[in-house]
Each structure stands twice: as structure tokens, then as C-alpha cells.
Structure 1
Amino acid sequence: MHTLAILLTGFSVFSALILALTHFRCDNYKGQAVAQGMGIILLLTLMGLQLAHFTWLQGDADFLHTPYYQVLLFAVAPAFYLFSKPLLQADASLHLRQLGHLIPVLAAPLLPFKLALPLAFAVGAGYLLWLAYSIYALHSQRSRFRLELAMLGAVFVIAVLVLLLGLGLPLLPEKLFFMLYTSAIGMAFLLVNIVLSIAPQLSTDVAEAARETYAISTLGTIDCEAMLSRLNHLMDQQQVYQETAMDLPTLAAHMSLTSHQLSELINTRLGKGFSRYIREYRVKAAENLLLQRASMPVLTVGMEVGFSSQSNFYEAFRELTGMTPGQYRKVHKTTPK
């Protein structure tokens, strides 16, 4: 158990750094600066906890029985809440009342250690209840995220187990408790990495689903069939998806709709979010170019179909086809036209 905890600690630290540099890019959080910032803070908080666990388990230093550790422990749940709320409830604004979530963090250094730990986990229980409610509120969209929600559900189960573990702290040997807690954080990082490898644009898709769930219909006066026909013409004939700067407001302007109207139209009539809708067109066009122009560099193919960077192209292509563009070209190699 000790060895596993040490290994998962190292994995957590490096995973946090990689996620901060790759997943939490501006491309994945357009219009969601609060979620992006709080997500990075959450990663740094978890990384700080794991480093404290590592030094204690190795016997090098004891950061666990310090105010530093208690602040980090109390910061996890509020940071996760402030990261998740903009995505799950379609509210990207930051309100002054949300500063109230800092109160437990500020009070943490003043608490005795034996009280601080179970109290931190008890506070986390309240945030878990909110998370469960928010995820359930998106149940109407579950067909779009069936696998992803199952994986996130596993992360939620781990969180519940950690909560029970924390509340049962007085009944467990201290070293066993921290080895289990360290391992649980590492397993959560592993599951999150698996989810993001399957759906790298998950944060964008969930935010779009939330906007659709909580919005009042904006299509009452719109001829939806005519708008769908217009949308198909723009995508299939004019191929507007090839424009790198093509986003929801720009495409909506082409159709004389508001962003909310176009988003709702795509969500309700096509069963997907705008970002996935665009990615599917671009990846399909990339598949054709990879085979038709065998000498064209892979990166050039991505730029031709509208992707803004190599990383975005590779992530989207792998998400939708299960392989990289280079692998796709080799598997489906044909005589160039």
C-alpha cells in the first residue's frame, strides 16, 4: 500500500502539471475564464496536497500537521465548486457572494488538526450533494455523454469513498488513512486523464449542454426546418467550417440568428453541441484530404480544414476516429487522385 501511494503521488503531481499546460488552454475554455482559472487552482491545490503526502510518507518532513496543509485541505472543495459551477449551470460570471466560499479556507489555520480533517471532509459532503444535483440536472443530455458521464461517475464514487474515509478518520491508524487518501487522489487523476483522452473537448461540450438545459427556448418564432436547410448549405456547399475563426457567434450572424438560437437549434435538432458539430465537419474533411492528397503534410491538412493548431487537430481527430491523422492515412492508404 505504501509503494502504491508513493507511485500515485508522483503520477498526480506530473498529471496536474500536464493537465494545467494542455487541457486548461484558452481554446478549451472560450468564454469560461472563471472555470479555467479555478481549474488550474484546483490542480495546484491537489498537487500541493500530494507533495505534502509524499514528504510525510517518505519520512523527509511533516507538512501534514501544519496550517499549510489545512488550508489546502479546505481549499479543494470550494475550488472544485467554483470550477464546476460555470460549466454545469451555464453561469460564467463571478459574483461577490461566491467569496463566501473562502471563509472555511481562511478559518482553516485556526483549527486544531484533529478537528480540521473531519470538518474539511464534512464541508466537502455539502459540495458533493451540490455536484450530484447538478449532474442529475443534465440527465436530459445524457445520451450525448454516456461514456464520459460514466467515467465521471466513477470519480464521484471515489470522492464519496474519500468522504467516508475522512469522516471515519478517528477509527483508522493515521498512516493508513493518508496512504488511502493519497491513493484515492491518484486514482481520480487517472480516471480524469482517461475521460479527457476520450473526450478532450468535454468541458466545452458540457457547458453547451448546460446552456441548453437551463435556457428558455429561443426558437418560438424561428422556422427551424428552413434554418437547418440554411445551415446545411453553409456547411456543405460554402464550407464555412474551413475558416479558422469560425465560432458560434460568427456562424449565427451568417444565418441572421442569435448565438443562443443557433446553439439551441443544433442541440435540439441535431443532438450535439456546436463545438462537436464543427469538429465533425472538420475531421470528415481532413479524412478526405489525407487520402486524396497523400503528399500533403498532416499539419497542413489540419490547417486547411479549419483547425487553429496541431494539438487541436490531433485531439479532435483522435476523439472522433480513434487514431491519429498519420495512422488514419496509413490504414486507409489509397492511390492519390
Structure 2
Amino acid sequence: MQTLALLAIGFSLGTAVLLMLGNLLQPQTPQCPLAKAAGFLLLIGLAGIQILHLGVLTGQADGFHTVLYTAILYGIAPSFYFYSRQLVQAESVDPQHNLYHGIPLLVGVLLPQSLGVPGAFLVGSTYVAWLARVVYGLRGQRQRFRLELLALATLFAIALAVLVLGFIWPLLDERAFIISYSLLIGLALFATTLTLLRFPSITADVSEALQAAYAESTLKNIDKQAVLAQLAVLMAQDKLYKLETLNLGLLAEQLGLSPHQLSELINTEFQQGFSRYIRQLRVEEAKRLLLAEPQASVLAIGLSVGFNTQSNFYAAFRECVGMAPGQYRKNAA
């Protein structure tokens, strides 16, 4: 088991670095500064815990019995919360309320480790409850998000397992706890990486679905039919979806709506979020071009309809059509 734990630690450190680099190299991803900072702190915290585990398992250093270990434990759950909160809350939160999340950290580092470590997991349980609410909020969207929901449920199950491990820590051998925790962190990062590779747009999709599920209607005084007609012109005639930088705010401005109004309109009228709506339009145009322009490369067609990378194009095409674009062209020939 120790060998597996060491492999999990190595994988965790490499994955944390890659995820941070990926976040830096995708500046077009809309994130508030707090969420972006929290994402980096979360990855740094998980990597830091694994480095301390590595020192114990290799006998090089006892980082487990340190204030640093306890402090990182108390910082992981709030970091996850601040990073993920943008998924479900469109409205800004009073900055003073954010400070409350630091209170457990200030108290926890003053406690003896026998109380501090279980206390950190107890605090973490409140954030797991919040994550459960997030997953539960998508129950009405399960027809649209079957696989995505499975991925989120898997992450929730791992978080639950970590909580159980934390609560039974006093009953475990110290080394067994470290090995188990290292494996769970590695598993969580593996599941996260797999989810992001399989669903590159999962953040945007889930965010739109959740905000639509929790928000009150913003379309009471809107002429929906007129807006839908204008939207049809922008997409069918102007082919605005081909614009690589197209986002919810830009399209909403074109229609004279707020982003929340447009998000609700698309969700209620098309039973899908904005991101998936645009992806489907791009894929439909790509399907047409794949047959109409047999000499054009698959990548060139993907870029011409608005996708910014080959991987995003292939993932969206498989999502909508069930096969790769090259296979679609071959089958239709």
C-alpha cells in the first residue's frame, strides 16, 4: 500500500502543476479574482499535504506533527468552496462574510493535533454538505447531465470518504492514515483530471444549469418571442456562433438583455445552457462543412466554426454526434 501511496503522491504533484499551468494558459475562462486565487491555493494545499506525506513515508521528515500540516488542512476546504462558489452564485457576496471562513483556521492551529486534525475534517463536513446541495440542485437536469452528474457524484463520494477517514483518524495507525489520505487525494485529482478531459466545458455547463435552477425568473417583462426571433437571425444569418470569443455577456448585449436573462431564456426555451447551445450550433455547421468541403482538414473546419482548439472541437463533436468528425465524414461519404 505504501508503494501505491507514493505513486499517488507523485501523480498528485504532477497533476497539480499541470492544472495550475492549464489555468494560467486559459485566460479566456471567466473567473473572478477570488475564485482564481482560491483554485491555486487549493492545488498548492493538496500538493503541500502530499509533500508532507512523502516526507513521513520516506522517513526524511516528520511534517505530519507540525502546525503547517494542520494549517493546510484547515485551508483546503475553504479554498475549494471559494473556487467552486462561482458555479452556483451569480450574485456577489459581502466581502466581510468571506472573512468568516478563516476563523476555523485561526482556532485550529492553536489546538493540539489530536483535536486540530479531526476539527479540520469536521469543518470540512460543512463544505461537503454544500457540495451535496450543488449535486442535488442538478437533479432536475439529470437528462442533460447524466455523465457530468456521475462525475460530480464521484467527487462527492471521494470527499465523503476523506471525511470518514478524518473522523476515524484517532482509531487508525498514523501511517495507515497517511497512506489512505494520500491515496484519496491522488484519486480525487485523477477523477478531476478525467472529468476535465472528458467534459472540457463542464464548469460552464454546470454553472448555467445551477444558476437557472436557483434563480427567480428574470423574463417577466421581456417579449420572449421577439428576442427569440432576433436570436435566430444572429445565429442563422449572421452566424455569430462562429465568433471564437463569443460569450454569454456579449450575446446578451447584442439582444439587449442581461446575461442572467439570456441564460434563463436559453435554458427555458432550448432546455440547455448557453455553452451547450453554442456548441451544438457549431457542431451542426461543422457537420455541413465536413461534407461540403471534403478537401478541408478536420481541424480547419473546427477552427472555422468557432472552436479554439482541436480537443474542444473533438469533445463537442463526440458529445453531439457520438463519433469523431473524421469518422462522421467517412461514414457519410
Shared fold per TM-score greater than 0.5: yes
1:205 positional shift: 1.5
Q: Report Cα offsets for 1:32-90 as digits up to 9, x if no partner.
A: 44323212221111111112112211222221111221111111111111112221233
Q: Does 1:148 align with 2:145?
A: no
Give the stretch that moved more between structures: 294-303 or 228-237.
294-303
**SS of aligned partner of 1:296:** coil
Contact in 2 for aligned 1:87/1:210 (Cα 8 Å): yes
CA distance in 2, matches of 1:260, 1:121: 36
CA distance in 2, matches of 1:147, 1:335: 28
Which residue is equivalent to 1:256?
256
Which residue is equivalent to 1:69?
69
Q: Report Cα offsets for 1:158-194 as digits up to 9, x if no partner.
A: 2112211111111111111111111111111122222
1:98 positional shift: 0.6
Q: Report Cα offsets for 1:264-304 as digits up to 9, x if no partner.
A: 11011111111111122122323333443344344432332
Give the stretch that moved more between structures: 131-140 or 276-285.
131-140
Contact in 1 for aligned 2:135/2:152 (Cα 8 Å): no
Which residue is equivalent to 1:179?
179
Q: What letter matches 1:143 in structure 2?
A: Q
Note the 1:176-215 alignment, pairs <5 A: 176-215=176-215
Query: CA 1:36–1:140 in 2, change beyond 3 Å: closer, same or farther?
Result: farther
Q: What letter matches 2:139 in structure 1?
A: H
Q: Report Cα offsets for 1:183-214 as digits up to 9, x if no partner.
A: 11111112222222221111111221232223
Q: Report Cα offsets for 1:65-119 as digits up to 9, x if no partner.
A: 1122111111111111111222123345562221221222234433322222111
CA distance in 2, matches of 1:18, 1:179: 23
CA distance in 2, matches of 1:55, 1:10: 12
Q: Does 1:329 align with 2:326?
A: yes
Query: CA 1:155–1:335 in 2, change beyond 3 Å: closer, same or farther?
Result: closer
Where in structure 1 are there 5+ consecutive unaligned residues? none
Contact in 2 for aligned 1:242/1:304 (Cα 8 Å): yes
Count of residues in correspondence between the two structures: 333
Note the 1:1-337 alignment, pairs <5 A: 1-22=1-22, 26=26, 29-93=29-93, 95-310=95-310, 312-317=312-317, 319-321=319-321, 328-329=325-326, 332-333=329-330
Contact in 1 for aligned 2:252/2:259 (Cα 8 Å): yes
Query: CA 1:64–1:319 in 2, change beyond 3 Å: closer, same or farther?
Result: farther
CA distance in 1, matches of 2:92, 2:142: 22
Give the stretch that moved more between structures: 140-149 or 61-70.
140-149
CA distance in 2, matches of 1:335, 1:97: 57
- Give the structure-2-normalised TM-score: 0.89
Q: What letter matches 1:21 in structure 2?
A: L
Compute the RMSD of aligned alpha carbons: 2.6
Contact in 2 for aligned 1:88/1:135 (Cα 8 Å): no
Query: CA 1:17–1:91 in 2, change beyond 3 Å: closer, same or farther?
Result: farther
Query: Share of identical aligned residues, percent?
Result: 43
**SS of aligned partner of 1:332:** helix
Give the stretch that moved more between structures: 163-172 or 21-30.
21-30
CA distance in 2, matches of 1:332, 1:308: 21
CA distance in 2, matches of 1:331, 1:140: 32
CA distance in 1, matches of 2:198, 2:186: 19
Contact in 2 for aligned 1:141/1:209 (Cα 8 Å): yes
Q: Report Cα offsets for 1:207-231 as digits up to 9, x if no partner.
A: 2123222322122233333433332
Give the stretch that moved more between structures: 84-93 or 152-161.
84-93
CA distance in 1, matches of 2:112, 2:316: 49
Q: What letter matches 1:51 in structure 2?
A: I
Q: What letter matches 2:111 in structure 1?
A: L
1:133 positional shift: 2.5
Query: CA 1:134–1:89 in 2, change beyond 3 Å: closer, same or farther?
Result: farther
